[in-house]
């Protein structure tokens, strides 16, 4: 079998397992009560959480918490690694130990969120007063917490396996699959709202226009890059002279990719999930502030996206390493001295691009949702979801194309051409 086809099949197989797990409920739960509750909260933070999980939350699946605890743990570790030199050294020199720490942190965060969800379910009742829990409350907390922990650990393993053996980034593809799996239900619900008169046809056309504009803007910016020219001196032996070969360093407008909105969503949804069972007025006020329907949530989302865009871009783009590699290979940027000056120039270019890339990500994450919500739409639709789907699709296609080119190059090398 073709190696690329094999990797694609492995990826699809793991994603199929993920989708099957979304239908495995936590033991002792009255699913009908939970679905009824989430139907009435489709437009708030729970609706957004349910969308990212591929409707696993509304079924109270064992993977209800999704991959977000792992992402939250990764955020914390990235921040600590940037702050403490010893941890940063561990990340560079002993990646496996660093990843092991992230896994342990994921266990802790998952248990905290799972216990919060389990306690919150005890006060949930249906229309006829039936409880969402069908077994003893203490037993349920224990069983559900460990069930959700097992589900999140399996998802984390699936994500790592896809990254190592499949195509693309496993964690991003899991989120991508969750969002895409929600699209048919969202489309059916939208047409039902139009038929019942809850949603106006003109409003529906406006939503479609917003979606198309958002997708077009994302594709345009994601494919945009600044090409910094690089010159290499190559000696031509036959002519005993030097020939200049031109190349370039591509620097993307959005250096941080889809990570900032995912990180921002994970951070903002963490307290919302934990505080679902809160009765203290202060905690309830915090939970209400973090509702996506409010301006405060969207303001925080905008700021968090910009912060993570700068933070992640500083990690992924190392101008010093690029400069040193250019110098070793005999390359230089025309008009810029090799070494320190090249690093400073590249850093300046990356900083300017990151500024506009961060603003773009912030606008995409906030504006479409505000526009749609102002129309009175009864379901969640945000630019973050569209950004993740489009960006992950583009990134995956690029990786498939790169592997196809590499396979073609290996074939030509093997045949001596």
Q: What is the pLDDT of residues 353-403, one digit of tens each?
A: 999 999 998 888 887 777 767 766 655 556 777 888 888 888 888 888 877
- Look at residues 130, 154, 143 and name the one whose alpha carbon lies nearest to residue 60: 143
Query: What pLDDT does residue 379 have?
Result: 56
- Look at residues 257, 249, 387 and name the one whose alpha carbon lies nearest to residue 315: 257
Query: What pLDDT does residue 150 have?
Result: 92
Distance CA 78, CA 99 (A): 11
Average pLDDT over residues 141-164: 90
Query: What pLDDT does residue 236 have?
Result: 42
Average pLDDT over residues 132-138: 83
Q: Are 47 and 172 in contact (CB under 8 A)?
A: no
Query: What pLDDT does residue 30 have?
Result: 81
Query: What pLDDT does residue 321 have?
Result: 82
For the chain, first and last CA: distance in Å? 23
- Exposure class string for 381-398: b at 16+ Cβ within 10 A, else e: bbbbbbbbbbbbbbbbee
Average pLDDT over residues 177-201: 77
Query: What pLDDT does residue 192 have?
Result: 77
317-362 residue pLDDT tens: 888 888 888 888 778 888 888 888 888 888 888 899 999 999 998 8
What share of the chain in percent tops pLDDT 90?
7
Average pLDDT over residues 199-214: 81
State the sign of the Cα–Cα–Cα–Cα dihedral 120, 44, 49, 304.
negative
Length of the chain: 417
Which of 91-95, 150-154, 187-191 has maximum average pLDDT? 150-154
E strands within 76-224? none
Distance CA 288, CA 44 (A): 10
Distance CA 348, CA 354 (A): 10
| pLDDT greater than 70 at residue 41 | no
Q: Are 376 and 385 in contact (CB under 8 A)?
A: no
Domain 1-182, architecture per CATH:
Orthogonal Bundle (1.10)
| pLDDT greater than 60 at residue 240 | no
| pLDDT greater than 60 at residue 242 | no
Query: What pLDDT does residue 52 have?
Result: 67
The β-bridge relationship of strands 331-332 and 241-252 is unpaired
- Exposure class string for 220-248: b at 16+ Cβ within 10 A, else e: ebbeeeeebebbeeeeeeeeeeeeeeeee
Q: Are 26 and 115 in contact (CB under 8 A)?
A: no
- Look at residues 141, 148, 146, 116 and name the one whose alpha carbon lies nearest to residue 276: 116
Give the distance, in angstroms, between the CA of residue 219 and the centroid of all CA atoms in the same chain. 17
Instruction: Identify the H or E element spanning 249.
Output: strand 241-252
Distance CA 203, CA 216 (A): 20
Give the CATH fold of the 199-417 domain: Preprotein translocase SecY subunit (1.10.3370)
- Stretch among 25-34, 111-120, 150-159, 287-296 having the lowest mean pLDDT: 287-296
State the sign of the Cα–Cα–Cα–Cα dihedral 179, 149, 262, 167.
negative
Domains of the chain, by residue range, sit at 1-182, 199-417
Using CA atoms, how far residue 230 sits from 16, 248, 269, 317, 338, in Å, is: 44, 5, 44, 17, 11
Q: For the range 14-18, what are the long-range contacts, defined as Cβ-Cβ under 8 Å and sequence gap of 24 or more?
A: 14/158, 14/161, 14/162, 14/166, 14/170, 15/162, 15/173, 15/174, 15/177, 17/158, 18/54, 18/63, 18/155, 18/158, 18/174, 18/177, 18/178
Q: Residue 62 CB: number of other CB atoms within 10 A?
A: 25
- Look at residues 300, 292, 308 and name the one whose alpha carbon lies nearest to residue 370: 292
Mean model confidence pLDDT for the chain = 80
Average pLDDT over residues 8-36: 87
Q: Are 381 and 367 in contact (CB under 8 A)?
A: no
User: Which one is predicted more confidently, 277 or 360?
Assistant: 360
User: Which one is predicted more confidently, 54 or 109?
Assistant: 109
Average pLDDT over residues 164-188: 82
Beta bridge partners of 331: 232
């Amino acid at each position: 079998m073709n190696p690329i086809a094999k990797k694609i099949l492995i990826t699809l197989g793991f994603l199929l397992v993920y989708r099957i797990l979304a239908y495995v409920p936590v033991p002792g739960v009255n699913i009908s009560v939970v679905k009824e509750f989430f139907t009435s909260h489709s437009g708030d933070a729970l609706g957004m959480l349910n969308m990212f999980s591929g409707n696993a939350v509304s079924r109270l699946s064992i993977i209800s918490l999704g991959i977000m605890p792992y992402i939250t743990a990764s955020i914390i570790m990235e921040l600590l690694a940037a702050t403490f030199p010893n941890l940063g050294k561990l990340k560079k020199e002993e990646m496996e130990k660093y990843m092991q720490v992230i896994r342990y942190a994921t266990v802790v965060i998952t248990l905290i969120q799972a216990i919060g969800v389990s306690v919150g379910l005890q006060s949930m009742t249906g229309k006829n007063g039936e409880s969402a829990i069908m077994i003893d409350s203490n037993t349920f907390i224990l069983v559900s917490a460990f069930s959700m922990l097992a589900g999140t650990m399996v998802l984390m393993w699936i994500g790592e396996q896809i990254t190592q053996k499949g195509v693309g980034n496993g964690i991003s593809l899991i989120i991508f699959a969750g969002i895409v799996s929600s699209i048919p239900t969202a489309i059916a619900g939208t047409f039902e709202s139009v038929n019942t008169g809850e949603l106006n046809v003109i409003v529906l056309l406006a939503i479609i226009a917003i979606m198309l504009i958002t997708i077009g803007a994302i594709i345009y910016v994601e494919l945009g890059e600044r090409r910094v020219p690089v010159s290499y001196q190559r000696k031509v032996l036959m002519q005993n002279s030097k020939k200049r070969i031109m190349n370039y360093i591509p620097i993307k407008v959005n250096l941080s990719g889809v990570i900032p909105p995912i990180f921002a969503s994970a951070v903002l949804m963490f307290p919302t999930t934990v505080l679902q069972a809160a009765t203290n007025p202060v905690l309830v006020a915090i939970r209400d502030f973090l509702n996506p329907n409010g301006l405060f949530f969207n303001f925080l989302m905008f700021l968090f996206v910009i912060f993570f865009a700068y933070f992640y871009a500083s990690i992924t783009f190392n101008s010093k390493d690029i400069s040193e590699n250019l110098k070793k290979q005999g390359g230089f940027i025309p008009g810029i001295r090799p070494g320190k000056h090249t690093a400073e120039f590249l850093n300046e270019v990356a900083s300017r691009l990151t500024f506009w890339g961060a603003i773009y990500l912030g606008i995409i994450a906030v504006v479409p949702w505000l526009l749609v919500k102002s129309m009175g739409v009864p379901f969640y639709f945000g630019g973050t979801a569209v950004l993740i789907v489009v960006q992950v699709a583009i990134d995956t296609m690029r990786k498939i194309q790169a592997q196809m080119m590499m396979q073609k190059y290996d074939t030509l090398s093997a045949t001596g051409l």
